[in-house]
């Protein structure tokens, strides 16, 4: 079985995330969307909301599993007996950041990372942009799945 882990905070899930997941579905038998728990980080949406947003967005897709984890992504990767990490790239800055992590994961743990470029129509979307729209009462509805509501 080709299992990929797609880790992130998903605060909240965006249409960019959805694009990456939908385009990765033909590549893998299962995609575990792994919501990382970082007690040092302040989230806009609590863990249960973030998990529910993703579960509802992919309720029709049996190849998608939603889970949460804390600690090292490497440890979670092995716990799930995954074959690949899945990451989306929006721009050169994302690439440089993700490349360093991918090299470290391969060097330390032999983990392979699969990168997918975001579609042009979603490449500008980030969770932080969505949160900024929400904080300032902007219309964020075109940036996220319809299930993401305050």
Point out the annotated binding site. 9-10, 17, 41, 73, 87-90, 98, 122-128
Beta bridge partners of 114: 86
Beta bridge partners of 8: 35
- Neighbour-count burial of 60, counting CB atoms closer than 10 A to its CB (0-12 exposed, 13-18 middle, 19+ buried): exposed
Annotated binding site for ATP: 9-10, 17, 88-90, 98, 122-128
Q: What angle do CA 130, 15, 85 make, to 5 degrees?
A: 105
From 3, 49, 63, 90, the catalytic residue: 90
What residue numbers does the annotated binding site for substrate cover? 9, 41, 73, 87
The one catalytic residue in 41, 42, 60, 142 is: 41
Quickly count: other Cβ atoms within 10 Å of residue 18's Cβ.
Answer: 17
Token pair in block for residue 86: 């899945």
Structural contact between residues 43 and 31, judged by C-beta atoms closer than 8 angstroms: no
Is 146 considered catalytic here? Answer: no
| Residues 91, 92, 98, 102, CA torsion sign | positive
Concerning whether 17 is annotated as a catalytic residue, the answer is yes
Positions annotated as catalytic residues are: 17, 41, 90, 127
């Amino acid at each position: 079985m080709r299992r990929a882990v797609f880790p992130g905070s998903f605060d909240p899930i965006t249409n960019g995330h959805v694009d990456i997941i939908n385009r990765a579905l033909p590549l893998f038998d299962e995609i575990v969307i792994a919501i990382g728990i970082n007690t040092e980080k302040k989230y806009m949406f609590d863990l249960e909301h973030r998990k529910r947003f993703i579960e509802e967005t992919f309720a029709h897709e049996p190849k998608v599993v939603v889970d949460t984890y804390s600690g090292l992504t490497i440890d979670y990767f092995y716990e799930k007996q995954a074959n690949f990490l899945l990451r989306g790239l929006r721009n050169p800055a994302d690439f440089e950041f993700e490349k360093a992590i991918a090299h470290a994961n391969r060097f330390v743990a032999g983990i392979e990372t699969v990168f997918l470029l975001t579609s042009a129509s979603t490449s500008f979307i980030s969770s932080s942009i969505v949160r900024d729209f929400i904080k300032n009462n902007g219309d964020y509805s075109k940036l996220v799945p319809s299930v993401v509501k305050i």
